[in-house]
Amino acid sequence: MSRTREEQKAYYAANRERIRKQQRDRLARERAEGTFRPATCHPHKPDVRRGLCQACSSREWRKLNPERYREVQRRAELKGKGRKSARTKAVKPWKNEALRYKKHAWYEANRSRCCNQSRDWRRKNRDRVYAAQCRRRARLQDGVSPGVTPAQWADILARYQGLCAYCGAEATERDHITPIRKGGLDEPRNVVPACKRCNASKGAFWVFG
């Protein structure tokens, strides 16, 4: 009788050690009998397909089938939208902070590479960039956001002394504390000055609270 995906996950979680021991015993038996076929990419792993181990085989399939892979990702995202796994909920705040610091350090070390990749992606996906800009303008003009007048923006700049609210550099742009995508309004109390770097790296995320 076939099990559902949830039942398979529950069964594996309850019998993880026994399943891993069976896998190790099977590999040891195949090596002893001379029937073990090592993968050319990782000799300590078995050959799954065309001399590749399971991880490398999956990676090759993703490269050869980018459209199907994106569709699988899209379906998984829609299926899990609005839900958080128990593992995600159990992550401690200090781990999130450590991961954020690690990502920021990597970005600082590879800033030019990231900028070039972003520029190339925007150049190749002009229609998607334009669609995102149209959606943002529609949210700003939804009839609910009161907007920020030039006088109000000048007051906000004076309050922050013309500096970025995040890093203290010279402010060149305005940023929404609660992102428009997350339901924030285009109003003075939700707008702060920001430099181009902080505004671009923040994206549609909260940084306060």
Position 158 confidence tier, pLDDT thresholds 50, 70, 90: very high
Has residue 199 got a pLDDT over 60? yes
Residue range 101-139, pLDDT digits in tens: 888 888 888 989 988 999 999 898 887 786 777 667 766
Q: Tokens in use for 159?
A: 């309050």
User: Average pLDDT for residues 171-181, to the nearest whole number?
Assistant: 83
Confirm if 54 and 66 have CB atoms less than 8 A apart.
no
Which one, of 15, 9, 11, lies nearest residue 86 by Cα? 9
Has residue 81 got a pLDDT over 60? no
pLDDT > 70: what percent of the chain?
81
Kindly report which listed range (37-46, 61-70, 131-140, 197-206) carries the lowest average pLDDT score. 131-140
CA angle 103, 105, 111 (to 5 degrees): 95
| Interatomic CA distance for residues 183 and 71, integer angstroms | 27
Q: What are phi and psi of 106, to 5 degrees?
A: -65, -40
Which one, of 164, 168, 167, 144, lies nearest residue 156 by Cα? 164
Confirm if 199 and 173 have CB atoms less than 8 A apart.
yes
Has residue 147 got a pLDDT over 80? no
pLDDT for res 209:
47
Q: Tokens in use for 128?
A: 């998607």
* Three-class DSSP category at 192: strand
CATH topology of domain 144-202: DNA Binding (I), subunit A (1.10.30)
Confirm if 207 and 166 have CB atoms less than 8 A apart.
yes
Has residue 181 got a pLDDT over 50? yes
| Interatomic CA distance for residues 54 and 60, integer angstroms | 10
Which one, of 188, 190, 187, 195, lies nearest residue 162 by Cα? 195
Mean pLDDT rounded to a whole number for the chain: 80
- CATH 1.10.30.50 maps onto the chain at 144-202
pLDDT for res 160:
92
CA distances to 18, 47, 51, 65, 71 from 62, in Å: 31, 18, 17, 5, 11
Kindly report which listed range (42-51, 138-147, 197-206) carries the lowest average pLDDT score. 138-147
Residue range 39-50, pLDDT digits in tens: 888 887 888 877
User: Average pLDDT for residues 1-25, to the nearest whole number?
Assistant: 81
User: Average pLDDT for residues 59-67, to the nearest whole number?
Assistant: 87
Position 155 confidence tier, pLDDT thresholds 50, 70, 90: very high
User: Average pLDDT for residues 140-155, to the nearest whole number?
Assistant: 77
Residue tagged 């050869």 (tokens): 64
User: Average pLDDT for residues 45-74, to the nearest whole number?
Assistant: 85
Confirm if 163 and 155 have CB atoms less than 8 A apart.
no
pLDDT for res 16:
87
| Interatomic CA distance for residues 36 and 75, integer angstroms | 37
Where does residue 82 fall: left (phi above 0), alpha (psi -120 to 50 degrees), or beta otherwise? left
